[in-house]
Amino acid sequence: MEREKTGFFGSQQSLLFAIVGIFIIYPFFVSNYYIDVAFFFGIYALLGLSLNIVLGEVGLFDLGHAGFYAIGAYTTAILNTKLGIPILVLLPVSAIAAGIFAYIVCSPIIHLRGDYLCIVTIGMGEIVRLALINNPFDLTGGPNGVYGIDFPSFGGPFVIDSSIEYYFLIWIIVVLSIIGLIRLQNSRIGRAWNCIREDEVAAGSSGIDVKSYKLLAFVIGAALAGVAGNIYASKLMAVSPESFSFWESCMLFCIVLIGGMGSIPGILIGAAFISLFPEIFRPFAMYRMLVFGLVMILMMMFRPGGVWPRKRGGPEFVSLLSRMRKKDV
């Protein structure tokens, strides 16, 4: 197939091998602290990839993605602590729970366009967070969250309990997700998503079921975020509502914008930026957000398509915004 055209393999193959090599040997040369930094890079990469399906591929503004992440994390936390189900068994369960949640919540709002959808998703994310704080059915532990989550295992003797094992767990999942997503991008489903992003009316009139494909993007995006939530919960051994704030959704949005909408290598760069940035600038912690804001403004001015825009023509965020307003017939 002509995969080179969309530019992740092919000409950059040697670069890819080099990067994979570095990723494999990296944890054997650094302290646990830096392995954990790379672990959180992986978490953000997975979350960025999941939001990218909705925001980058279909062009739907979703500022409540942390809500899906929270559903995944709390599903894992509650089922593990109350029923003792092993974490790795809960991995698909969390994904399915987040996916079903997305399906139910997004079905009635899927016809909203652009900024309207954006506002509703913000509300959705906030409602999830507030619901968790209010401790429904005595399950979520209120503001304190849920404690004492196990290490990942299938219930047998094999247990993931060191930083280095966590590191490999998350990055193997990221790599598998990337492979799956590249295949989706190059399938009729990925093309249908891109068509909807480009022109909803024309997509419908070319035979694409706009509503179902938007929902599909939300469900797959939420399921991946649910996977990230599962691993996050077991890594921290505790989950609490403040980890899933509106700010978290904004960070994910920034990952996609910085990297380049619809571009998988771009997402990885964006995730690296978001997760490594606070570490690099730790000495200047007070000015961190200032610099961050400045970088975002400069990005929008000079590289509106992201650091590594998608070859097939990822749209620029600004042009997508302006097009939102003239999408009617």
Binding characters for other proteins, 218-237, by CB under 8 A (x = yes) = --x-----------------
43: contact with other proteins by CB under 8 A: no
Closer by beta carbon to other proteins, 199 or else 242: 199
**How far apart are CB 192 and other proteins at their closest, in Å?**
6
Cβ-contact 113, 320 below 8 angstroms: no
Of these, 100, 109, 175, 189, which contacts other proteins (CB under 8 A)?
A: 189
**The two three-digit tokens of residue 144, written as one number:** 């304190």
Show Cβ contacts of residue 76 under 8 Å, excluding neighbours closer than 6 positions.
87, 90, 91, 93, 94, 149, 229, 230, 233, 234
Q: How far apart are CA 86 and CA 248, in angstroms?
A: 27
195: contact with other proteins by CB under 8 A: yes
**The two three-digit tokens of residue 289, written as one number:** 């957000």
30: contact with other proteins by CB under 8 A: no
Of these, 104, 207, 247, 282, which contacts other proteins (CB under 8 A)?
A: 207
Site for other proteins in 267-326 (CB under 8 A): 312-315
Give the number of other Cβ atoms within 10 Å of residue 16's Cβ.
14
251: contact with other proteins by CB under 8 A: no
Q: Which of the stretches 43-51, 89-97, 149-157, 183-191 binds other proteins when contact is defined by CB under 8 A? A: 183-191
**How far apart are CB 1 and other proteins at their closest, in Å?**
7
Give the number of other Cβ atoms within 10 Å of residue 53's Cβ.
28
Of these, 4, 115, 161, 199, which contacts other proteins (CB under 8 A)?
A: 199
**The two three-digit tokens of residue 89, written as one number:** 């068994």
Closer by beta carbon to other proteins, 141 or else 314: 314
Q: What is the 3-state secondary structure (H, E, C) of 294-325?
A: HHHHHHHHHCCCCCCCCCCCCCCHHHHHHHHH
Q: How far apart are CA 110 and CA 218, in angstroms?
A: 9
Closer by beta carbon to other proteins, 303 or else 312: 312
Of these, 52, 121, 194, 249, which contacts other proteins (CB under 8 A)?
A: 194
User: % helix / strand / coil in the chain, to the nearest 5?
Assistant: 75, 0, 20
Closer by beta carbon to other proteins, 16 or else 182: 182
Which residue type, as a one-letter code, is found at position 237? M
**Contacts to other proteins by CB under 8 A:** 1, 5, 180, 183-184, 187-192, 194-195, 198-199, 201-210, 216, 220, 312-315, 329
